Structure 1
Amino acid sequence: MKIRCVIIDDEFPARALLKDYIERFPHLELTGSFKSPLEALPLLQSGGVDLVFLDIQMPEISGMDFLKAFHLKNILVVITSAYPEYALEGYQLDVIDYLLKPFAFERFVQSVQKAGDRLHQRNSDSSTTATAFAESREFIVVKADHKSYRVNVADILFIEGMREYVTFHCLNQKLVALESLKNLVEQLPAGLFMRVHKSYIVNRQQVKALYGNQLQLHNSDKTVPIGQSYRDEVRKELFNLN
């Protein structure tokens, strides 16, 4: 995972030192180096920055005042300063580390490790939350026949793709919608649905039996074909067969 970094310091030697340190790490990417926070603001607000190394004493606006005035959403901040008295205030503003100038490379490494740990935790939490949300969804909205239907996901037997359309085969109805299987795979809870063919997605709980390259379902007289490239995964995931 690349960590996109920005340096903000009005002193050239400080910027050069940080640039040198950053370039020693293959997973760090320097996306900008600025003499003032206001110069860096457009890049910071673009969403393309993960980590900022921010000086405190600068002519236009101090690093502390900048943090108070502008909310750097989803950006981690490491303060780099020659003034230790600002450390407590910095941590109150939720900076992840405070590098006291002059600092050695070994101390810089600790800040990078903290940033990496925080970003990894954030990504893990986000993935877990998204998965939990998807798995907990009880219905999806299907637009068909100029109407919007609330369809219980548990009632979907299987979904059949037909070029730019899909057919939802449900317990009590069949709906044809302008949609793609690729999009549906991303939307439907993976713990409940599985793609078994380039043209079919099945409800795992509705699978009754495997017969050759066909799946027999509990509540349907239709069988669903298994694509050759999906066969091994279907056998393993649905029937624990190798």
Structure 2
Amino acid sequence: MVLNCIILGNDPEGFRELEYFLSAIPYVYLVGRYNTMEDARLWLDAQTIDVLIIGSYEDALPLPPGTPGVMPVMMVMYTDHPNGSFDFLPAALLQSPLTQTALNEVISKIYNTIEMEGIVRPAKYTAEYFILKTAHRHEKVFYKELQYVEVMDDHITLHLGDQKLVTMEKLDWIISQLPANAFMRVHRWFVIGFRHITHLDADHVMIGDAKISLTVAMRNELAKRYQLPF
């Protein structure tokens, strides 16, 4: 089981140590860092997030007096409602200065709560595929076969080995159907599947014969993430 995590706050420089410690926990995947809840809403609505860590954030939950320098850690709970809804369950307060040991204990507690105590995890990705609407029919898109998603001028193409599927669906919707720990948006026009990376260079990534350009920052972020377990 992989715990998908989001860091919420408007001071990304202050999160470097937290990100480093999270990367050392093999069963945690950092989906992203977002300034506002609205920015993180895509992943929350898609029912993919297990853990929310709140840093410097204007609308953060009120903290008890005398607790400066703390980061609330929340478990994200989902309902079975067809339109999707979620709530936050307080799990812990991370104290400054943060240590790897303290973070490990908090994340281990959350993991055990979800795994052992009957907390219902989102069942979004229990299937091996999602259903995509194309021009003529609905297609099953198997996660293990999806190499990359490419945004074209007036449509989106999903590359699955020798097969290509064309759809008019929005990219945000397609991203919301993909497991966050197995796919990543690396460019304005590309989302790639980690398992299909054949080469990672300083300024591009290869997915089979497809060469996709990367910025330095995106290359470093991709290098950090794609070795995680699927």
TM range, smaller chain: 0.3 to 0.5
TM-score calculated relative to the size of structure 2: 0.45
Instruction: Please say which structure displays the higher CA radius of gyration.
Output: 1
